[in-house]
Amino acid sequence: MHIRSLPVQFLLFLLLGIVMGFVFQITLTTIIILSVLAYVGLILFYFKAKKDFKFPIYFSILTAILFVLIGILSINLQKPKYQTNNYSAYYFSGNNLFIKVDKVLKPNSFYKKFIGEIIRVDSVKTNGKILINIPIFSKNKPLVVDDVLWTNTSLKKINKTLNPNTFNYKAYLQKQEVYHQISLKPDNYKRLSLKKQTLKGIAFNYREKIIRSLKKSNFSNEELSIINALLLGQRNDISKEIYEDYKNAGAIHILAVSGLHIGIILIFLNLIFQPLERFKHGKIIKLLIVVICLWMYAFLAGLSASVVRAVTMFTAIAIGMLSNRPSGIKNNLVISLFFLLMIHPLYFLDVGFQLSYTAVFSIVWLQPHFKKLWQPKIKIINYIWQLLSISFAAQIGLLPLSLYYFHQFPGLFFISSLVIIPFLGFILGFGIIIIILSLIGILPFFLAHFYGLVIQYMNDFVAIIAQQKSFVFKDIPFSFLWLIAAYLILISCLLWLHKKSFWNLAFLFSAIIFVQITMIYEKLQIEKTNEFIVFHQVKNTLIANRQGHDVIVYQKENMLNASGNNILKSYALKFKNLDLKTNLTRSNVLQIDSKKILIIDSKGIYKDLLFVPEVVILTQSPKINLERLIHQMHPRIIIADGSNYKNYVNLWKKTCENENTDFFNTSVQGAFQYPY
């Protein structure tokens, strides 16, 4: 399949529209009017072209515009304000809310977390997802999928990220259409007997039944967590240590049911049902059985978005394999992606979706080129080379995305893949048998023990790879511009390998020039940026001054804890690993550019100053008369950081409002960034 083929072009214009719809605020009326005009124009040009026996360039341009508009329209229709039954149109604080549990999330140290759908506000039927938080030590019966709750507790907006370049949980949830959260204590909600089971609920119950049966087979908690992740798509119980090991070994992708798992299952199913091809219409019958089995597995894994996407993708690949032509697989892959995004455009913004499709596209397009490089005649060597070439192809495609999102690269990924993929194939294939035997209560102890040992050996191998710290390259700065540049280089190289033409060579040189422009632009941006920052850190003070590459962190004592180090590391990483230096100062006065900044700590000392500070920073809950301070100094702005008591901050805010003085609270507004 070439980039000039119609399915690819339609997909690219649709993706452009989805991105534009997410980035820009375009009204629904405007989009509909433009879409109608484009559609009418297309019809007119079509009839004119039929009459003249020639399609004008305007026809192609209008087609491209129409697909861009379809993308913008599809993303807008996902927004709450354009959904007629969304709860946000009917909700006011204190309303009676009826919430159905849709998904069980991994808990944190304080809360059990769930995704819920508001099915009614008072007597009005509604829809729309929210995040549910329940205290971790709640004695109420644990919630399960399809439980219906009543509460009149007020909804709250999702908290935004409070420091620059740290993980934005609010944006992450918005991409899943979750805009509000609710915190439920044991005494302010009721579980109702209105339970009506959905497919997700039935799948959840079957999965819980499987887990209960496996627990009777004396699997350890560690083994159960891996079985649950690999076979049932649930990694809520995986320990932090095991997660980090898999991450550092370059094998984190196997801990979530994704394209790799479904691809292995597809290979096994094709092998099992291969004899059917000997009969009349055997290929069609085999395809139907394989597709049904894939969707049965998706049901077993809980019909989560990632599993549904992966099964949809490999259903398309299975159909493409029927033709025994690589172009059939590529065409169906593009078509499956197109229709998935038409139905649910927010999938495109999901990291798992991007990684899954990118890996498969990379294997389909790149692996044949690796295969041509060497074709060993010895079967075992050929098998190893096939695994390595698939792994290299996937990693090349995934590398820019991995660097952009995770800022690290596991250097020993090829060793991990070489060993883990066969392990994974065995665990998936044999695991289905283990599950069936455990459900009917006839799983022999020696089989369960053997299966547990295989999982333990895989974990031990991953841990050994992860311990080779010198091969795990961490904290690699990689911006969005570099992401675009990397894929332009990759795509242009692929086109040149496919066909050595003038235009493909021109595209390759253009991509190289874009890389150079990106390098120069980012260097200039870093060098000319100067800013003073008051970060938000709970129970601590973190203040820094940045001048180009250099960042000076001001402290009274060298008291940077893990949280402070992570905040600074995230900030520095975004801007190409800035040079962090600590300035241990006892002074409460800082001069930034030509402006004086006064820091008032718990001692509350600020009298008899010989200057007027433009900025006053309140830290460590000083006991001061803020009204008097404002009258004496007339500061432009007063900043309260995360080290202060909440009731103090609320009083200071009221005082500043009464005195018409700007007040900045880092616990609400995030880090204070003052460019100069």
Q: Is the pLDDT of residue 557 over 70?
A: no
Least confident of 253-267, 390-404, 496-510: 253-267
Q: Is the pLDDT of residue 326 over 80?
A: no
What would the two tokens of residue 170 be?
Answer: 């609010």
Q: Is the pLDDT of residue 15 over 80?
A: yes
Q: What is the pLDDT of residue 54?
A: 60
Cβ atoms within 10 Å of 382's Cβ, excluding its own: 14
pLDDT digits (tens, 9 = 90+) for 116-139: 999 999 989 999 999 999 998 888
Find out whether 535 and 671 touch, Cβ atoms under 8 Å: yes
- Whole-prediction pTM: 0.82
Q: What is the pLDDT of residue 372?
A: 81
Q: Is the pLDDT of residue 36 over 80?
A: yes
What residues pair up with 638 in beta bridges, in sequence order?
A: 616, 663
Q: How many residues does the chain have?
A: 676
- The domain 530-675 is classified under which CATH number: 3.60.15.10, 2.60.120.200, 3.30.360.10, 3.90.1720.10? 3.60.15.10
pLDDT digits (tens, 9 = 90+) for 581-612: 887 766 788 888 888 899 998 888 777 677 78
Find out whether 415 and 465 touch, Cβ atoms under 8 Å: yes
Q: What is the pLDDT of residue 389?
A: 84
Q: How far apart are CA 516 and CA 508, in angstroms?
A: 13
Q: What is the pLDDT of residue 485?
A: 94
* CB neighbour burial string for 557-586, b if at least 16 within 10 angstroms, e if fewer: eeebeebbeebbbbbbbbbeebebeeeeee
Pairing of strands 530-535, 542-547: antiparallel
Q: What is the pLDDT of residue 357?
A: 84
Place of tokens 């989560």: 304
pLDDT digits (tens, 9 = 90+) for 189-198: 999 887 678 8
- Secondary structure string (H, E, C) spanning 141-199: CCCCCCCEEEECCCCEECCCCCCCCCCCHHHHHHCCCEEEEEECCCCCCEEECCCCCCH
pLDDT digits (tens, 9 = 90+) for 642-652: 999 999 999 99
Q: Is the pLDDT of residue 567 over 60?
A: yes
Q: How far apart are CA 605 and CA 597, in angstroms?
A: 14
Report which of residues 255 and 509 the model is more confident about.
509
Find out whether 121 and 96 touch, Cβ atoms under 8 Å: yes
DSSP structural state of residue 257: -
pLDDT band of 620, cuts 50, 70, 90: very high
Burial class (CB in 10 A: 0-12, 13-18, 19+), 140: middle
Strands in 185-259 per DSSP E: 190-192
Find out whether 462 and 245 touch, Cβ atoms under 8 Å: yes
% of residues, the chain, pLDDT over 90: 22
% of residues, the chain, pLDDT over 70: 95
Q: What is the pLDDT of residue 470?
A: 80
Query: CB neighbours of 499 closer than 8 A, spacing ≥ 6?
Result: none
pLDDT band of 155, cuts 50, 70, 90: very high
What would the two tokens of residue 442 be?
Answer: 């006839």
pLDDT digits (tens, 9 = 90+) for 405-430: 888 888 887 777 777 777 777 888 88
Query: CB neighbours of 521 closer than 8 A, spacing ≥ 6?
Result: 481
Q: What is the pLDDT of residue 235?
A: 76
Least confident of 34-48, 280-294, 391-405, 632-646: 34-48
pLDDT (mean) for 457-483 = 87
Kindly list the distances between the CA atom of residue 280 and the CA atoms of 231, 250, 261, 274, 283, in Å, as whole numbers in the listed order: 34, 44, 30, 13, 8
* CA 228 to chain centroid: 21
Is residue 433 classed as helix, strand or coil in its secondary structure?
A: helix
**In whole angstroms, how large is the CA radius of gyration of the chain?**
29
Q: What is the pLDDT of residue 113?
A: 94
Going from N- to C-terminal start, the domains of the chain cover 6-77, 87-196, 203-362+424-473, 480-528, 530-675
pLDDT digits (tens, 9 = 90+) for 268-289: 888 888 888 888 888 888 889 9
Nearest residue to 134 via CA among 205, 188, 87: 188
Q: What is the pLDDT of residue 518?
A: 93
Q: How far apart are CA 176 and CA 533, in angstroms?
A: 31
Architecture category of domain 87-196 in CATH? Beta Barrel (2.40)
* Helices 240-248, 445-466: inter-axial angle, 10-degree rounding: 60
pLDDT (mean) for 442-463 = 87
pLDDT digits (tens, 9 = 90+) for 221-252: 888 888 888 887 777 778 888 888 888 887 77
Q: What is the pLDDT of residue 392?
A: 84
Q: Is the pLDDT of residue 52 over 80?
A: no
